[in-house]
Amino acid sequence: MEGQLKELLPFLRDKNPQVRQLALENLVSQTPKGSPYRSIFFSGQTGGLQKPSENDVIRDLKLLCRDQLAVAHDAFKALVNLSDAPILVSSLSDPSFLNFLVSYIVNPQSICADLASMLLSNLTASSSACATLLTMKVSIIASQKVPNGYFATQSRSGSCVAPVPYPSGEEQEVLALPLLLDAFIQGAQVDEIQDLSKRARKGSLHFMASVFGNLTSSPAGREFFLTPQPSNPLKTDSDLEYPLAKIVSFTEHRDTIRRGGVISIIKNCAFNARAHKAILSPETERVAVSGSDISAPGAGALPYIILPLAGPEEFELDDQEKLHPSLQFLPPTKTREPDSTLRLALVETLLLLSHTRWGRDFLRANGVYEIIRAAHEVESVDKISEHMERLVMLIKSDEPAQGPSEEEEFELAATRNGLELEDSSAKPTQDTEEEGPAIGSLVTDDDDEDNRIEEV
């Protein structure tokens, strides 16, 4: 059987698209992890101490991602399944292929954009792919005749044809991340439309939340979300806003991938104690990250961190007044976040935000204690209950009359994070044959390390 499958590999380069499609249909079933003949895709692939090189079949699959729809769909699917192999990370993360993936994802007409974002999610589990993506620029042509205002020139492929007439503007290079972020936001708006032909954007791009979650596991990735950027990436003179502010509302999204990824982004950003004011302050206040002169409206993240932990409980009027309007008088049908991993991440985010006096004062003044007290009464997971108790102790404890300066608190918070928090480098990859949220796992360590919080 293995020999017969190997005989199909050369047909991936056949001039006849039907032959390419038939060969790929028979090969893609062997790409998921655990498949008996998966090794045929790694033959000739070098790694380790040698300079990484790719074999012909991986090169062919990358090219077939640009083929007609049926072929491209199976090629993307195959690479998603194979991208869990460390030996392929280098060849799948080369700048030219990543540039195609990004350009393809941001184009609203890309039919396989969800598979492309799933592949990018798996690849950004690698620090090298993250580093490339953080500085990547893509070529676009601005045009009002295109649905999203520009055409990403490298996205052109069999499953994403160029617009007619072709945009006549001048080609320019722009940073990829702001474009990806806007595409991710637009994807949530088309989720309700089942008819693909009626969608303004063909993909919902939920897996981009995992991509951003992977990026924010590094300080450079957090810096992007916590640095004011033009609200319109094509207009540098547009109003500044924190990129984090654009996505905090997705913590209550019905898709587990999207809301889980956004929760991990907020938590990872909370590692930066200097940015706590920017993260927590409401949009009505302009605030800068400590040490920066650039200000923008606050991200207003606190209501979106607390809301998934809130239930239908009624509070005394004095307690209700502390809460953000979106948290007051919740309906009897309000339920808490059902995923215990995500509830833990939300509570850990609040713990991180309470590492400074300003953060604790803000949490006290905005009803965090009242919400956590009610959530603790019904929490069934011991780990989460213990973290809630730690949080309550921090919020309810008396503050010293003369505490450390703000700068000293930042240094203390960084030291505390270094002791309690460690980067979770083992991030789950996606297999198209299996389902599961594409977010970093929260690892439970030994009993004497139960208070450790991990980056996701």
Q: Is the dihedral of CA 302, 344, 115, 435 positive or negative?
A: negative
Report CA 33 to chain centroid distance, whole Å.
23
Distances (CA, A) of 176 to 62, 130, 183: 20, 12, 11
Phi, psi of 288 (to 5 degrees): -115, 150
299-310 exposure pattern, b = at least 16 Cβ within 10 A, e = fewer: bbbbbbbbbbbb
- By CB atoms closer than 10 A (0-12, 13-18, 19+), residue 352 is buried
Q: What is the predicted pLDDT for the residue at 453?
A: 59
The torsion angle over the Cα atoms of residues 359, 360, 362 and 366, rounded to 10 degrees, is 140
Rounded Cα–Cα distance for residues 97 and 27 (Å): 22
Phi, psi of 254 (to 5 degrees): -70, -25
Q: What is the predicted pLDDT for the residue at 424?
A: 38
CB 134 within 8 A of CB 177: yes
Q: Does the N-terminal peptide bond of residue 165 adopt cis geometry, omega within 30 degrees of 0? A: yes
What tens-digit pLDDT sequence spans the chain (456 residues)?
Answer: 888 999 999 999 999 999 999 999 999 999 999 999 999 998 765 544 444 456 889 999 999 999 999 999 999 999 999 999 988 988 999 999 999 999 999 999 999 999 999 999 999 999 999 999 999 999 999 998 888 899 999 999 999 989 999 999 899 999 999 999 999 999 998 777 777 777 778 999 999 999 999 999 999 999 999 999 999 999 999 999 999 999 999 999 999 999 999 999 999 999 999 999 999 999 999 999 999 999 999 999 999 999 999 999 888 888 888 888 888 888 999 999 999 999 999 999 999 999 989 999 999 999 999 999 999 999 999 999 999 999 999 999 887 776 776 777 777 776 666 544 444 333 445 666 543 333 332 222 334 445 555 666
Write 57-61 long-range contacts (CB < 8 A, 24+).
57/9, 57/12, 58/82, 58/88, 58/91, 58/92, 59/91, 60/9, 60/12, 60/13, 61/12
DSSP 28: G
Q: What is the predicted pLDDT for the residue at 46?
A: 52
CB 385 within 8 A of CB 379: yes
Place of tokens 């939300």: 346
Distances (CA, A) of 264 to 57, 209, 389: 35, 9, 21
Half-sphere exposure of 167 (CA within 13 A, CB side): 23
Helix 113-123 crosses helix 95-106 at what angle (to 10 degrees)? 140
